[in-house]
A and B are shown apart, each in its own frame.
Chain A
Amino acid sequence: MKKNIEVMNEQNKPKRRGQFGSICLRYSRNKMAMLGLIIFLIVLFFAIFAGLFADYDAEAIKQNIPDRYQRPNEVHILGTDAYGRDIFARIIYGARLSLIISLSTVMISLVAGCILGALCAYYGGLLDSIIMRITDVFLAVPPTLMAVTVVAALGTSIPNLILALTISMVPPFTRIVRSAVLQIRGADYIEAAIAYGSKDAYIIFSHVLPNAIGPIIVQATVNLASVLLSVTALGFIGLGVPSPQPEWGTMMAENKAQMRYYPYLVVIPGIVIAATVLSINMIGDGLRDALDPKLKN
């Protein structure tokens, strides 16, 4: 009898999972989040393997006037634009451009924001005040406007675009990291690490940042979505990736004049942008719920 109970207890014992494992499990139970992840992976797949589906120079860039304005058909599954370029080829190479630009922007500003924010929160005092007053100034200019100004001064090119968006993204990240770190700084394990004589850099990178990473990752995902929207918006007003490179927003700007008679030219890139941004937002929501079950209502 006693043995049976022990066996039962053994069976009922919850499987031990690491923190990462349980986050993954909570995430995978969220249908919306999984759908978002799948859509994003599809976009990523086309972006990475664009070369397998279409030739960059021949189909996405080279003008091919006799083939222009073909509505979607077997040869050109999404049709062709005013210069006879294949829309599908331009969309998948555009995915590459848009994702590279927005991912690198978020990465760079995340790293910069983490360093600045952690320094502010950890050391406080004069350094904190100086950096915070500077972010106040940056935050007074909306991100789109800031990016527009920087691109205006430096000219339109991909590196300039990344720089412009990064400048507008660093201050918000600094703020988020700072407040996340501030909450952790008073924790007992930090006191313990200090008492133990750990170096500041070690404490920041092995104790503070790993514990603050949850809200930071969620914020990074949300910002990825908004940066992607900014990239396409800048492309649309002619300050993003210069034509003829196939960036999604730039494509829409090129085709806007013909939209009355060939609506698919603006409808298709728009659907692609919306689907990508939606998938990122869904991943962000899923991550938020998975990282902090308390927040879920």
Chain B
Amino acid sequence: MIRYIIKRLLVLIPVLLGVSLLIFGILTLMPADVAAVQLGIAATPESIQEWNEEHGLNDAFFVRYLDYMKGLLSGDPGISWSTNTSIKMEFAQRIPSTVILAAGTIVLVILIGVPVGIISAIKQYSIFDNITSLSAMLLTSVPSFWLGLLLILKFSLDLDIFPATGAGSLSHYVLPWITLSACMVARLIRMTRSTMLEVIRADYVQTARAKGAKQLRIVFVHELRNALLPIITVVGIILGQTLGGAIVTETIFALPGVGTYLLQGINKYDMPVVMISVLFIAAMIGVINLFIDVLYMYVDPRLRSQFVKGYVTR
């Protein structure tokens, strides 16, 4: 088990290094007059030259990349180009908001998506199934930012139940949670439903039924247990998309998270800010995927037996 986790960690590290190189490379393509933008109207050819020198822009690409990574690995993401202050503190303050948003969303998605998908599959073609299938189809097509605006329109401006923007209490997160999770819930329902439908037709389920097992036991022990792997896979993909979609959701509700920080950095041509925000999200996704791979082990005895000595498959 431990060996497997270590092995996966060793795969994650080169991927993250690759991501850092890729993002650094893309951001290097920023227009050459960044210095003029940062210095504003006070810019003179001399001060631009000085600024470039100070921020290492005159160095070769790999020298700059190595310098940056050296700083990052020792825990310092550098200094913001636009405000000239250390990014570390500012960025650390942004993390909780994004984590609350993502964590709440994923809890909501799993708590609604999996049970509804299971019931839909068991009661295939019932009224419940038809309504959920149709609304799931609709929800996957609705742009999340539009849903967010409609929610603000109804629940903040009209009914005044939840605040529209900012973050102070958990009630600020209710609308963002709904916005971000709507599309993901719909996708998880569809996925859960179709995997369950496959499993329901499997021979071992027929056998269990023939042997007189109770309906609940069939659903939880025989069907859900076997449908769990693909469901976990989808949850992993959804988590990644949640973090990607957080930029848009945070913008709608003006949440002080990593996403809005990233956007702020982009608008000010602030490369170190963009860099650390993208890397942070990619790293979170990498860790989540690692966690999900480990979860596979717990769920699927066939996989577990390959890595644990003396473990006998049930």
Contacts and interface: CB of A to CB of B under 8 A. Distances in A.
A82 interface: no
Interface string B116-152: 0000000010000000000001101111111001101
Contacts of B22: 137-138, 141
A232 B143 contact: yes
A236 interface: yes
Interface in A116-149: 133-134, 136-138, 140-145, 148-149
Contacts of A233: 143-145, 248
Contact of A153 (B26, B124, B138): B26
B26 A149 contact: yes
Nearest to A275: B141
17 contacts: A142-B245, A142-B281, A144-B244, A145-B281, A145-B282, A150-B26, A153-B29, A225-B141, A236-B145, A236-B251, A239-B266, A273-B143, A277-B142, A278-B137, A281-B140, A281-B141, A285-B137
**3 nearest CB pairs, A to B:** A142-B244, A137-B18, A270-B146
A274 B194 contact: no
Nearest to A248: B143
Category for how many chain B residues contact A: 35 or more
A249 interface: yes
Interface in B15-74: 15-16, 18-19, 22-23, 26-31
Interface residues of A, number: 46
Contacts of B276: none
Interface string B80-101: 0000000000000000000000
A218 B9 CA distance: 34
A297 interface: yes
B156 to A, nearest CB: 10
B241 A140 contact: no
Contact of B247 (A136, A232, A237): A237
B284 to A, nearest CB: 10
Contacts of A274: 138, 141-143, 146
B240 interface: yes
B154 to A, nearest CB: 10
B244 A281 contact: no
Contacts of A256: 149
Interface of B: 14-16, 18-19, 22-23, 26-31, 124, 137-138, 140-146, 149-150, 152-153, 157, 194, 197-198, 201, 240-241, 243-245, 247-248, 251, 262-263, 265-267, 274, 278, 281-282, 285-286
A290 interface: no
Interface string A18-59: 000000000000000000000000000000000000000000
B266 A152 contact: yes
A260 interface: yes
Nearest to B275: A149
A1 B27 CA distance: 83
